[in-house]
Amino acid sequence: MKEKIFNAVNFPENLRLRKGYQLSGGEQQRAALARILAVDPQLLILDEPFSSQDFDSQENFLSLFKKINEEFGTAIICISHNLGILRKLCMRVLIMQKGEIVEEGSSSEVLVSPRHPYTKYLIKAEEYGLSLEELRQTQKS
């Protein structure tokens, strides 16, 4: 099982005896993920797991989380402002505004054809298409 976990998180054997400070940030994250998987969790809750990563790192971790979901059957809840990542990772999404769920459904449904004004706002913001007036309006509500 240990070997399966290390392989799943792409943690090579030559790094396994190193101390945490001897690993890069990405290697530290993979080591932490391996430790989590060792207890065979049914659910992983990821809170902004891609926020401080460059595009390549985001794509690597996206593939990693998909692999964990498929190989270990671990359910994943991902809390993120990155709609692009959510499109690729999640089958379902919940959109929250001020702690309230305003829209939910399949990712393709919600992120392609949003119904709620806040979801539309988030998608437009992601595309850098907001006007100053739209920004002000959302800050008021």
Q: Are strands 92-97 and 75-79 parallel, antiparallel or unpaired?
A: unpaired
Q: What pLDDT sits at residue 126? A: 82
Asked whether residue 14 falls in the same domain as residue 33, the answer is yes
Asked whether residue 2 falls in the same domain as residue 67, the answer is yes
pLDDT band at 115 (very low <50, low <70, confident <90, very high): very high
Tokens 């290390």 belong to residue:
6
Q: What pLDDT sits at residue 58? A: 86
Please tell me the distance from the alpha carbon of residue 102 to that of residue 53, in angstroms, as a whole number: 28
From 76, 82, 21, select the one nearest 51 (Cα to Cα): 82
Please tell me the distance from the alpha carbon of residue 32 to that of residue 23, in angstroms, as a whole number: 11
pLDDT in tens, 76-109: 999 998 898 899 999 999 999 999 999 999 999 9
Tokens coding 104? 């939910």
Count structural domains, the chain: 2
Asked whether residue 79 falls in the same domain as residue 17, the answer is yes
Asked whether residue 22 falls in the same domain as residue 86, the answer is yes
Asked whether residue 59 falls in the same domain as residue 118, the answer is no
Domain that holds residue 123: 92-141
pLDDT in tens, 40-82: 999 999 999 888 778 888 888 899 899 999 999 999 999 998 8
| 8 Å CB contact between 34 and 9 | yes
